[in-house]
Amino acid sequence: MKYLRTVLFFVVFISIFNSVFAQKDSKLYIPRNVLSSYESGIRNYNGMPGKSYWQNHSDYKINVELLPDSSMIRGEEIVTYYNDSPDSLSRLVMRLYQNIMRESAIRDFPINSGMFTGGVKLEYLIINGDSLDISESSKEVRNHSTNLLVRLPRKLAPGGSLELKTKWSFKMPENGGIRMGNYGDGDFFIAYWYPQIAVFDDVDGWDMIQYQGIVEFYNDFSNFDVNITVPGKYTVWATGELQNADKVYQPEIVDRYNKAKTSDETIHIITAADRKNNKVTANNDKNTWHFIAKNVTDFSFAASKNYSWDAASIEVEPETGRRVLTGAVGPEDYKFFGEAAQIARKTIEYMSFELPGYPYPYSHTTTFFNKNRGGGMETPMMANDGQPKSRPRFIGLVFHEIAHTYFPFFMGINERKYAWMDEGWASFFPQETVDKLEPEYDYLKKNVRSYEYAAGMESELPPMVVSYSNRTPFLRTAFYSRPANAYRELMHLLGRDLFRKALREYVSRWNSKHPLPYDFFFTFNDVAGEDLSWFWKPWFFEFGYPDLGIKKVEINGKEIETVIEKTGNIPTRIEITFEFSDGTKDVTKLSARTWKNSTGKVRIKYVTEKKLKKIVLGNKHIPDSNRNNNVYSVD
């Protein structure tokens, strides 16, 4: 039986549209402190940085020593801080992250009492040659949990700089830590470790948000010159470029390292046999590893006397031939370790050429596999990953943490306030790669289910509620699954090519800066050539949930009229599958734009000569918190 394909359906909106109201309603709510940045020309409503845009930065010179036997870190640093703001600064805010391990610290991350270490011990603090009183009774320096408030001896004028010197130490728990630490048997990942000057920005001034364990990064772009001293048999991997490989490695390791930098195939730079035969590091009691990293938001390092190292590389800029080293550090007996360097390579390839389609901006990515069962932690060019037991989760974890090098690090996002601006992307990007390598797993189905389960529950907060205030059971929904689903629906709405163009433009405009959510929204509006506020509002600002349902079906001869009702406020695309008694099916698809000016109902007319058996609304990849109203069966 044949049926018409040329006039399969037409859509009639049941809506009353007032253009004046819609134009007014298209404007997003902008808080006063954020609005001032746009009104003063620091940021533009077209999504571009303004002529008056500014941000501060620092140069860090750090000498640090890891003492594995006592689980101690001790170091000294000289920081040159540059005030590029239009304000005179009367104080500094410094971060002492490891104060989170004090018993009295404010925490939202569970730890056991055996992990308390006393926090950071400062020996001195000197600013422009003036030694400051760092005692508990000091009026110059006040310690507020993980923030240290420092009154400057003299104001720092716009365009000026100051030099800060400090010496410090802290003990890590001997059985792990928060997001970093001692994993036992001589394996360490060191993050959140050095006294750091907080961000002073155009929206809030000094960032006063405490590090309590859950919310993560917001850092200035700075330069790092770091010397890391460890016992002789330890190997160190870090953010930035190793400057003295020939001084710390034995010649064969240097040769393999250099070979990996130009190899598509995995090179086994350090093996378990090399470790056993003492064929890895220079034969000294201690070795000092020198790294330099420029224009990055943070610096971390890993150290081990046991782990193996695999690496390959990939060309990310064909016009220049620039390559990125994709490394994996961990135990050879982890069942997926042997393919980790290539999974990292596929990740860099996807992100450089597919989405966001912007060449990976740094020289390497190194994934360190700790002894945890799962979970991961990102830092620039470095990832501290657990060891998932399933291959799909392993692939997804490696990809997720590497993706963070773009968001929040290359993009300088304030993750403390807007975790969705990086966690959402890191949850969105892995899908196509995981599905390609593990097609039975269905990454997207799991992401959709995670969101629709929580959507609309009393404790579920919209992503635009500042992240540091979200302590609900569904905080991961606001940070991860809801924005990831929003990005996926947005890609279907705009089409992949336009979506990619807008995303790449966002990265181009705001890398090495501090984009706000509105810079993201306005950039996409600008590139798409339309105001997408009708989409941004429900997905990011409003309480609510996605729910489409079949309201009514009328069959008149060859014509089937289906009324689809949008019960929830979150707009999604429409997909209707018509199933016929002869076993055939036909699918009708409509963009989420269907709901832009609709009052909540849409009629879909479908003409066929076949006998209808069933109508199914939606699919497993379109979020819908109530699927009980998605099927109509012919009696």
Distance CA 477, CA 471 (A): 11
Run of H or E including 349 = helix 337-353
Distance CA 334, CA 367 (A): 13
pLDDT at 5: 34
Which range has the worst mean pLDDT, 206-215, 336-345, 421-430? 206-215
SS3 631: strand
Distance CA 303, CA 189 (A): 6
- With the CA atoms of 533, 539, 541 and 545 taken in that order, what torsion angle do they form, in degrees rounded to the nearest 10? 130
pLDDT at 113: 80
SS3 528: helix
Residues 94-112 pLDDT 10s: 999 999 999 989 899 888 8
Mean pLDDT of the chain: 94
- The strand pairing partners of 324, in sequence order, are 314
pLDDT surpassing 70 at residue 19: no
Q: Indicate whether this model's pTM tops 0.85.
A: yes
pLDDT at 109: 87
Q: How far is CA 432 from CA 146, 320, 394, 395, 398, in A?
A: 39, 27, 15, 11, 14
Share of the chain above pLDDT 70, in %: 96
Q: How far apart are the first and last CA of the chain?
A: 22
Confidence tier at 20 by pLDDT (50, 70, 90)? very low
Residues 546-579 pLDDT 10s: 999 999 999 999 999 999 999 999 999 999 999 9
pLDDT at 635: 78
Sheet strands (E) in 38-146: 57-67, 72-82, 89-95, 121-127, 130-131, 141-144
Residues 231-283 pLDDT 10s: 999 999 999 999 999 999 999 999 999 999 999 999 999 999 999 999 999 99
pLDDT surpassing 50 at residue 631: yes
pLDDT at 16: 29
pLDDT surpassing 80 at residue 12: no
Question: What tokens appear for 358 in the block?
Answer: 């912007």
Surface-to-core class of residue 161, CB atoms within 10 Å of its CB (0-12 exposed, 13-18 middle, 19+ buried): middle
DSSP-derived pairing of the beta strands 57-67 and 222-231: parallel
The domain locations on the chain are: 9-21+545-633, 68-207, 215-407, 437-530
For residue 466, give the nearest of 379, 541, 561, 385 by alpha carbon.
541
Spelled out in words, what is the top-level CATH class assigned to the domain 9-21+545-633?
A: mainly beta
pLDDT at 470: 96
- Asked whether the beta carbons of 446 and 431 are under 8 A apart, the reply is no
Spelled out in words, what is the top-level CATH class assigned to the domain 68-207?
A: mainly beta
- Asked whether the beta carbons of 168 and 55 are under 8 A apart, the reply is no
Residues 32-87 pLDDT 10s: 999 999 999 999 999 999 999 999 999 999 999 999 999 999 999 999 999 999 99
Distance CA 158, CA 181 (A): 38
Q: Do domains 9-21+545-633 and 68-207 have the same CATH topology?
A: yes
Distance CA 541, CA 600 (A): 19
Average pLDDT score over residue span 397-408: 98
Is cis: bond before 361, omega within 30 of 0? Answer: no
Distance CA 308, CA 321 (A): 28
Write the DSSP string, 263-327: -SS-EEEE-HHHHHTT-SB-SSSEEEEEEEEEEES---EEEESS-EEEEEEEEEETTTTEEEEEE
Run of H or E including 520 = helix 517-528
Confidence tier at 210 by pLDDT (50, 70, 90)? very high
Residues 293-305 pLDDT 10s: 999 999 999 999 9
Share of the chain above pLDDT 90, in %: 91
SS3 380: coil
pLDDT at 18: 34
pLDDT at 433: 98
Average pLDDT score over residue span 607-618: 96
Surface-to-core class of residue 583, CB atoms within 10 Å of its CB (0-12 exposed, 13-18 middle, 19+ buried): exposed
SS3 408: helix
pLDDT surpassing 90 at residue 599: no
